[in-house]
């Protein structure tokens, strides 16, 4: 992941409630790659919400397509990496609204000339 600031930074609840966890979580989630697109879940903007309730982290996650063949494995990896980084149990909620390029932290990362 690039060290530059994201173009479309995502603001999670933990930015306000547990800011010390944000960089740790971002570092761990940056390890989770979409194997077809070869960008990580943060670059793609797939982790939309992160909050902590009653000592458990809750992540709201989208997939790039509703029937992504790698979806179950990616969700499990997101959960595992979030648990490693945050040091607490993690619940994943899968969102069903459509993903599009505007949700990416840096839409220019997909500049292959195919989507203009």
Q: Are 77 and 66 in contact (CB under 8 A)?
A: no
Residue 74, pLDDT > 70, answer: yes
- For residue range 46-65, list pLDDT tens digits in order: 999 999 999 999 999 999 99
Higher pLDDT, 81 or 101: 81
Q: Are 50 and 23 in contact (CB under 8 A)?
A: no
First to last CA, the chain: 23
Mean pLDDT on 98-102? 90
- For residue range 102-113, list pLDDT tens digits in order: 899 877 776 654
The model carries a pTM of 0.88
The CATH-assigned architecture of domain 24-96 is 2-Layer Sandwich (3.30)
């Amino acid at each position: 992941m690039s060290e530059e600031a994201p173009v479309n930074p995502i603001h999670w609840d933990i930015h306000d409630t547990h800011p010390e966890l944000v960089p740790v979580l971002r570092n761990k989630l940056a390890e989770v790659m979409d194997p077809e697109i070869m960008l990580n879940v943060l670059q793609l903007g797939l982790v939309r919400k992160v909050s902590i309730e009653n000592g458990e982290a809750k992540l709201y996650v989208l997939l790039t397509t509703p029937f992504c063949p790698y979806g179950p494995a990616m969700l499990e990896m997101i959960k595992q990496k979030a648990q490693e980084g945050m040091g607490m149990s993690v619940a994943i909620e899968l969102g069903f609204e459509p993903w599009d390029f505007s949700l990416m932290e840096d839409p220019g990362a997909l500049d292959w000339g195919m989507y203009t």
